[in-house]
A and B are shown apart, each in its own frame.
Chain A
Amino acid sequence: MQKYSIFSLARNALSGHKNWTRAWKSPPLRDRYEVIIIGAGGHGLATAYYLAKEHGITDVAVLDRGWLGGGNIARNTVTIRSNYLRDESIPFYVKSVSLFEGLTKELNFNMMHSKRTMIDVVHNYPKMRELRRRQLTMDIYNSTYDNISTEEVRRRVPALTGGGPGSRLPVIGGMVHTDAGVNRHDAVAWGYARAADSHGVEMHEQTPVLSLIRGSDGAISGVQTSRGVVHAKKVVVAVSGHTTTLTETAGLRLPLRTMNLTAFVSEPVKPLVDVIVNCPDLGFYFSQSDKGEMVIGGAPDSGQSFRRDIKQHVFEDTVGAMLELFPSFKKLKLLRQWGGHLDITHDASPIMDETDVPGLFVTAGWWGGYKAIPAGGLTLAHHVATGRPHPLMEKFTVKRFKNLDFIMETGTTTAR
């Protein structure tokens, strides 16, 4: 792998940037691999990378129907945090946050990681109690969560001038999660792809998988793609919102539904807010990007959806709520808006498991799954390579639904 550094930058500048090697190759598609990973999003690429790096399994093809890193990893608001509710979830996300913090070094790719704290702005006592309860559980696993007063919230977020005592929705306090941060999503996709490629993993873009193929013994035997059949004894489905579309071709039903989640972004302005602001009671959150844009996320559409756009009234509701607290944002021009289709499980926790179809692995239910990419890839690769679940993800099984052993999560903003 060509090393990126100040020296390689200088050297390549002198030769007019004509001699950079490709970040990943595109070899011809073979008809057999040890492992096929469907979906070159964050989870698929991270799984490929850790399979090669941690387990020496390099006969791997990652297939994507579009371009690498063009799915939800390109559509999300990059909030990385570990303030979850359950004992099963928190250690997993703590691990993921710490892997993210070391990822620039690990992959020799600048992730532009910015550890910048998330502040929840709270408006009602039941929510405050729920977050205080999270705090007690998070303390056990060394994740950070602290209660602060309204005055302290305002001191840290000076742009928060609404929500006073006379308003319809007075702020009653806040929570601070200092572990939270943001980084650059393209770098995560490209960094994992480049590093996996250097170990011999193949990336195949524009290669949609049309169906899964099972052998006469019922186990997975390969996939039908638009470019022909490709065989493998192990297949990983990492396609985000389209999981059930694919698994149903193998006769496998999963407790997932697909919904549309939206975001939008303003014109760049001078530095104004240096933390991630999350308003669970109003249903929006935002952070300011390095370029100065406000990156704003809102609530999902009601009902299932594969449409990947934003409904005008969902957009207006989010903006209306935001202006209650940040009246000065009235002057911001909004530049772009978009949506992404994500699947969510019956209990809102992910599924990472080998399914009832032997050899068929699924990583799904990633509602807020950007933050989970490094730990998701690391632990799923362990399961695929060794046949045993990694301790950090062993509870996220498919079987839990059969045992009615739910891991009820609730998002801090959107999966309410």
Chain B
Amino acid sequence: MLLINCPFCGERNETEYVYGGPVSADRPDPTAVNDDEWIDYLTMVPNPVGPTHERWWHAKGCGDWFTLWRDTATHDIVKGPKK
């Protein structure tokens, strides 16, 4: 079980949260991008063996949505890459 740090409530058990999918780019304007970029947005997800960026929802807590980086090989919650 993961111990997930909600920005509002602090550390709580994974069972209080709902996984919300990988963080993807914002929805582009379909008329402003080419077909490849549009398909990419719709279907592609990074699938690394290592840190990945994802959304979680503190459904049984404060209801906040937030993002975190989690390592897919170890399940450790890790620091994301520096921007």
Binding site for B on A (CB under 8 A): 242, 244-245, 253, 255-258, 302-307, 311-313, 343, 346, 401-402, 404
Contact = CB atoms under 8 A, between A and B. Distances in A.
Contact of B44 (A253, A304, A307): A253
**Size bin of chain B's contact surface:** 20 to 34
Given A257-B22, A307-B74, 8 more contacts: A242-B49, A258-B72, A302-B18, A303-B19, A303-B70, A346-B42, A402-B36, A404-B42
Contacts of B44: 253, 255
A9 to B, nearest CB: 44
B31 interface: no
Contacts, number: 53
A343 B13 CA distance: 27
B72 A305 contact: yes
A342 to B, nearest CB: 12
Contact of B73 (A303, A307, A401): A307
A404 B39 contact: yes
A400 to B, nearest CB: 10
Interface of B: 1, 13-15, 18-19, 22, 35-36, 39, 42-45, 47, 49, 52, 54, 70, 72-75
Contacts of A302: 18-19
Given A313-B1, A401-B39, A303 B54 contact: yes
Contact of B47 (A244, A311, A313): A244
A402 B15 contact: no
A238 B82 CA distance: 35
A303 B1 CA distance: 13
A241 B1 CA distance: 22
Nearest to B42: A404
A303 B19 CA distance: 7
